[in-house]
């Protein structure tokens, strides 16, 4: 069982503090029709500084969930990993219907699965740099479209063929139950699934449904207070930890805009370590539980 990074397979014990759902090189500025290209992240000195601050906080692993159609750049991720001695796990897959490349609508689930399998086994973007995760496989707001269902089926086929875990996108926290039904209908081992953006889901009963299936959930939009305040996310997380689910929760910030970066006045990747974790500690969350969410849970989830 290895964690499959962009620089090669490593023993899972090399994984330390992990951001489970991030973007380093990413471009949805065209899809979002932005003149200022705010939704374009690149390998720049500004990113170098953000990563340096992260490393000073003890973070050595970033799960990069940008996939086909999201501006993913395997060579850039390899370069960043080498430059910073960082473990970067890259993703294969397709995001949500509004962002799909045109061919996703035309190809069968089997054909889409073959693309993912090839990227995991052989390499991405005409390189031998391999994906180590199927992510972020998404649904739309309050619905899973027919094409999204096809992509979920393709992801499950690729998962069963390769063993690679699946991380999902729940738009503003919605449709976790619908995604769960697809996985269970296809008899997927739920401890290899992680449901994204559950810190935006205000339905704790649905969160508990996902956790009781054996799956992981991600509190991965920390710092994005325009969606839901961090203070509310803390309260929600404390309820789940009090119920004993510390072995199934992982954390991140989901940086997707230049304006999220510290140099541009945003909260930055390190917000998780410098702001959110101290609040958890002050709320009585032990170091052992924090290390489970940051280190041990990602190790178990990512290894295959």
pLDDT for 150-189, tens place per residue? 999 999 999 999 999 999 999 999 999 999 999 999 999 9
The pLDDT of residue 30 is above 90: no
Three-state secondary structure call for residue 259: helix
- Going from the N-terminus, what domains does the chain have, and what CATH number goes with each? 2-302 (3.20.20.140)
Q: What is the pLDDT of residue 178?
A: 98
Q: What is the pLDDT of residue 251?
A: 98
Burial (Cβ within 10 Å: 0-12, 13-18, ≥19) of residue 13: exposed
Q: In the chain, what is the greatest distance between 2 CA atoms, to the nearest angstrom?
A: 52
Determine the Cα–Cα distance for residues 197 and 290; give it in Å rounded to an integer.
19
Q: Bigger pLDDT: 34 or 89?
A: 89
Q: What is the pLDDT of residue 127?
A: 97
Q: Which of 36-40, 113-117, 137-141 has the lowest mean pLDDT?
A: 36-40
Per residue in 58-106, pLDDT tens? 999 999 999 999 999 999 999 999 999 999 999 999 999 999 999 999 9
Does the global pTM surpass 0.85?
A: yes
The pLDDT of residue 118 is above 90: yes
Q: What is the pLDDT of residue 34?
A: 86
What tokens does 53 get?
Answer: 């601050």
The pLDDT of residue 35 is above 90: no
Tally DSSP H helices, then E strands, for the chain: 12, 13
Per residue in 238-286, pLDDT tens? 999 999 999 999 999 999 999 999 999 999 999 999 999 999 999 999 9
If you average pLDDT over residues 35-48, what whole number do you get?
95
If you average pLDDT over residues 291-304, what whole number do you get?
98
Judge contact between 51 and 67, C-beta under 8 A.
no
Q: Which of 33-37, 171-175, 223-227 has the lowest mean pLDDT?
A: 33-37
Determine the Cα–Cα distance for residues 303 and 300; give it in Å rounded to an integer.
6
Q: What is the pLDDT of residue 155?
A: 98
Judge contact between 136 and 196, C-beta under 8 A.
yes
Judge contact between 15 and 60, C-beta under 8 A.
yes
Q: What is the pLDDT of residue 31?
A: 84
């Amino acid at each position: 069982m290895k964690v499959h990074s962009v620089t090669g397979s490593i023993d899972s014990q090399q994984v330390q503090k992990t951001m489970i759902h991030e973007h380093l090189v990413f471009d949805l500025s065209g899809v979002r029709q932005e003149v200022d290209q705010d939704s374009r992240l690149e390998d720049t000195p500004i990113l170098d500084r953000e990563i340096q601050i992260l490393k000073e906080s003890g973070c050595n692993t970033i799960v990069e969930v940008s996939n086909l159609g999201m501006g993913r750049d395997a060579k850039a991720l390899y370069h960043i990993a080498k430059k910073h001695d960082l473990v970067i796990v890259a993703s294969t897959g397709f995001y949500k219907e509004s962002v799909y490349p045109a061919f996703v609508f035309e190809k069968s689930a089997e054909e889409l699965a073959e693309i993912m399998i090839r990227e995991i086994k052989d390499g991405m973007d005409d390189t031998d740099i391999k994906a180590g995760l199927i992510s972020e496989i998404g649904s739309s707001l309050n619905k899973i479209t027919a094409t999204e269902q096809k992509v979920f089926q393709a992801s499950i086929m690729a998962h069963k063929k390769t063993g690679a875990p699946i991380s999902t996108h729940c738009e503003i926290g919605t449709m976790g139950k619908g995604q769960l039904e697809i996985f269970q209908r296809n008899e997927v081992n739920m401890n290899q699934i992680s449901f994204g953006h559950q810190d935006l889901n205000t339905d704790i009963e649905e969160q508990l449904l996902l956790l009781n299936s054996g799956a992981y959930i991600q509190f991965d939009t920390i710092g994005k207070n325009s969606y839901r305040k961090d203070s509310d996310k803390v309260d929600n997380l404390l309820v789940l930890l009090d119920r004993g689910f510390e072995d199934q929760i992982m954390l991140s910030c989901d940086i997707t805009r230049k304006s999220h970066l510290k140099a541009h006045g945003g909260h930055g990747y390190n917000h998780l370590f410098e702001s959110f974790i101290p609040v958890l500690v002050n709320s009585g969350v032990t170091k052992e539980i924090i290390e489970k969410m940051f280190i041990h849970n990602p190790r178990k989830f990512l290894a295959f």
